[in-house]
Amino acid sequence: MGRTHCTEDDTGRFSCITGDCGSGKIECSTVPAGSSPVTKAEFKINNAGLDFFNVSLLDGYNLPLLVLPSNRSCKKAGCVVHLNGVCPPELTVNSSDGKIAGCRSACEAFGSQQYCCTGEYETPSTCKPTSYSQNFKKKCPSAYTYPLDDETGTFSCASSDYQIVFCAGNTTVYKSTTSNMTVVSSGPAEPPPVTTVITVPSLSPPPLPSVIIAPSLSPVPPSPTVIIAPSLSPQFKTPPSPSPQGITPASPSPQEITPRASPEIRRKTSRSLVPIIAGVIGSVLLIISFVVIFILRARWRGKSEQDPQDVEDHHIKHVPGMPVRFSYQELYVATDNFNERLGRGGFGSVFKGKLGDGTQIAVKRLEKLGQGMSAILSYFSMLS
């Protein structure tokens, strides 16, 4: 099994949120019941010439785990899917930062006989997959998901070595090199197989770095190389003392160059800001002038472009004794589309009509408006 979210307190006690063995140290001698949720690899070696193995999710899940036999004719077992992402909320175990650290089994979460296959549910006829185990099985078909999942969750192999791979993928295959893997060997008795056990990298915080001093391979240690970096502040050199025996001192190397002082930055005075402020004020006044001119022109254009129909309506409203006005649609309906003509006179024909309340009316439809609005208004004045 593997452990995740491991820490070490001030007293040196080591603990993990998932897979903790309760020893308080990195090394584990036993795996107590409180270590779940944890993904486990289980083996029964050399049982009547066969090895039986599975990757069990009965104690929950905390990380992907895969068992690979060296015998290519044998099937691999495990779960390479990150089930924490599909874990139901009632089964999740969270870390201190609120992230999902593992997924508990339904037996541990609820403790009922149905999920644990105990009591009246311990027989093959009553111990059946639950919705939680089926969720695990759908994602990890070769994992052991409930107490009687031997048919699809347990595998057998003869005379094989095994690689236990943590956080594996679907394309992981058995390799002869056992780096970062734990190998369980169950080969023949003679000759004895070579078993290599390499600790799987822990998911806990990395230990303090150690310093290893390796001996030098050269007979004479190399002389140290000294690199002198020039100072960023101005340097003041003292004149060298006369060298003995008339030896001229060496000229300074190109690296020993005194940096120049940064140029003085002149501050802006208030006088230099006057042109800028004047330009801004002038631009604002110009924009305001354009806006005022635009508004005045729009109002003038609105008055000059008044609808002629509105003017005519205004004149007609001021004719004394003007009768009630009707819309063209109302007159169209009252005269049945100007169907019955009573006569013809100035400006048009007169048609017989009938209002909705039964009142008989005579409607004159104007046909010659070209004679001018003043003549029409005079005609209406005579009728009134």
- Binding site for ATP, by residue number, is 364
Q: Is 373 helix (H, G, I), strand (E, B) or coil?
A: helix
The radius of gyration of the chain's CA atoms, rounded to the nearest angstrom, is 50
Could you say which DSSP state residue 100 is in?
E
Contact 63, 122 (CB under 8 A): no
Contact 48, 151 (CB under 8 A): no
Contact 348, 364 (CB under 8 A): yes
Taking Cα atoms as reference points, which of 85, 49, 59 lies closest to residue 160? 49
Q: What are phi and psi of 80, to 5 degrees?
A: -105, 10
Q: Where are the beta strands (DSSP E) in the chain?
A: 4-8, 14-18, 40-47, 50-56, 65-69, 77-79, 92-94, 100-103, 155-157, 161-166, 182-185, 341-345, 348-354, 360-366
* Residue with token string 């895969």: 66
Amino acid in the structure at residue 289:
S
Rounded CA-CA distance 263/352 in Å is 103
Q: Is 92 helix (H, G, I), strand (E, B) or coil?
A: strand
Contact 123, 142 (CB under 8 A): no
Pairing verdict, β 77-79 and 161-166: unpaired
Biggest CA pair distance of the chain: 146
Annotated binding site: 364
Bridge partners for 54 per DSSP: 42
Tokens at 343, concatenated: 């006569």
Q: Is 163 helix (H, G, I), strand (E, B) or coil?
A: strand
Taking Cα atoms as reference points, which of 146, 175, 147, 142 lies closest to residue 66? 142
